Amino acid sequence: MNATDLTAVENDASYDAINDYFYEQGWTDGLPIVPPSEARVTAMLEGMPGCEGDDLISVVPPKMGRATLRQVAVNAVMAGCKPEYLPVVVAALRAVSELAYGLAHRQTTTHAGAPLIIVNGPVVQQLRINCGTGLFGPGWRANATIGRALRLTLVNVGGAGPGVDASQTGHPGKYTYCIAEYEAANPWEPLHVERGFRRDQNVVTVVNAEAPHSMTENIQTDPMEIMRTFASSMATLGVNNLYSQGHPVLVLGLEHVQHLSAAGWDKRDIKQALFELARQPWGLMKNRGKSKGPRFPEFVDRNDDNSMVPIVNAAEDFILIVGGGDGGKSMFLPTAGAQSLSVSKIIE
């Protein structure tokens, strides 16, 4: 994908013809795109004043394409972004390019993961990134287009389109996967503060996650009983985290937050309880799933069928945020496991 290709269709072709051409070239996600004209790309670059279009942001596997700021801007235009969204897209691309994320494998794996972008800081309100009711769903331009711009960049610059992306099933997050934390409803420290950033800093955290799974608990209000419900949903046989741990995500719903906070629990209490409860016995695991996989905590005794295997190596490995609307539902997002860890980056 290059500027010559883009202007060749932009000057003389209709909107429909441009979309047909881009689709035939494998440059789209299957949905219509906004034609990246020179004027639109120039306007997008104004979202990062002081930066140059040829500034290198990342080298994206497996094709090892050079993701310059201009190339990211092209894909942001195609996704429908506003210029002010561009710094978030760039930060997310920098995050997935860190070694801990393992982008080369994520681009070609059979696993059904997608890059989930979690946004924290004042930018959430400034850009109207949804953190409340329906945060994983449609209707919010920032959520939809920021996540889509990252994905289009990974496809168009990194070459991870159909035939290269080997995911057996994929999931809808491969179109777009971007949310924000509901910091105003969080009685504890938000994710970016927990990770060492200031509250007034704007930060993205990216983790390769499966589709969100709803965990309903409308009856129990005792914190430990809520944790038992969560643990049963999280430590299911077959989930990657049970076999290779990593950084699974818990999005706590508002009603559950209120019960836990009222009882004096904080994020450390929640994580510790889940670390202890979200487990399966080795004897039940050893002949199924991917139990011959790469990593297990050292304390798991493979000679003891009763030795309990957790879904994280340590309590602090859980990613715990607050989000969503009213009601007794929270969300669990399994991840690829230790092959792909979460990364946080400041939005410049």
Give the pairing of strands 319-322 and 249-252: parallel
Residues 113 and 198 in one domain: yes
Q: Specify whether 82 is located in the same domain as 204.
A: yes
By residue range, what is the domain housing residue 322?
213-341
Are 72 and 137 members of one domain? yes
Pick from 166, 191, 209: which residue ends a domain? Answer: 209
In this structure, the chain runs to a length of: 348
Residue with tokens 């090892």: 64
Within-domain flag for 346: no
Amino acid at 53: G
Q: What angle do CA 141, 118, 344 make, to 5 degrees?
A: 135
Nearest to 275 by CA among 223, 236, 319, 312: 312
Three-state secondary-structure class, residue 22: helix
286 with 205, same domain? no
**Residuewise pLDDT in 10s, the chain (348 residues):** 554 444 444 555 689 999 999 999 999 999 999 999 999 999 999 999 999 999 999 999 999 999 999 999 999 999 999 999 999 999 999 999 999 999 999 999 999 999 999 999 999 999 999 999 999 999 999 999 999 999 999 999 999 988 899 899 999 999 999 999 999 999 999 999 999 999 999 999 999 999 999 999 999 999 999 999 999 999 999 999 999 999 999 999 999 999 999 999 999 999 999 999 999 999 998 888 876 665 788 899 999 999 999 999 999 999 999 999 999 999 999 999 999 999 999 999
**DSSP code per residue over 236-252:** -TT-HHHHH----EEEE
Q: CA torsion, points 66, 70, 73, 77, in degrees to nearest 10?
A: -110
198/244 same-domain check: no
Structure tokens at 9: 């269709």
Residues 132/325, Cβ–Cβ less than 8 Å = yes
Order of all β-strands in the sheet with 203-209: 178-180, 114-120, 203-209, 343-346
- Return the H-helix or E-strand segment holding 272: helix 267-277
Tell me, yes or no, whether 347 lies in a domain: no
Residue 301 falls inside a structural domain: yes
Longest dimension (CA), the chain: 70
Domain for residue 280, yes or no? yes
Let me know whether 163 and 66 are in one domain.
Answer: yes
Number of domains in the chain: 2
Q: 76, 90, 92, 12: which is closest to 40 by C-alpha?
A: 76
Tokens of 39: 């004027």
Q: Which of 59, 64, 62, 88 is nearest to 149 (CA)?
A: 88
Q: How far apart (Å, rounded) are the C-alpha atoms in residues 315 and 271?
A: 5
In a domain, 223, yes or no: yes
Among residues 209, 224, 245, the one where a domain terminates is 209
One domain for residues 98 and 114: yes
Give domain status of residue 136, yes or no: yes
122 and 162: one domain?
A: yes
Domain contains 271: yes
Q: Pick the last residue of a domain from 193, 209, 225.
A: 209
193 with 241, same domain: the answer is no
233 belongs to a structural domain? yes
Give Cα 210 to chain centroid, integer Å.
9
Yes or no: say if 335 and 249 are a contact pair by the CB < 8 Å rule.
yes
* Cα 310 from chain centroid (whole Å): 22
- Residue where the block lists tokens 């801007």: 73
Of 213, 216, 205, 151, nearest to 179 by C-alpha is 205
User: Is the domain of 296 the same as that of 324?
Assistant: yes
Tell me the torsion sign for CA atoms 204, 269, 217, 254.
negative
Question: Are 243 and 201 found together in one domain?
Answer: no
Question: Based on the domain organization, do 198 and 78 belong to the same domain?
Answer: yes
> Residue 263 has what pLDDT?
98
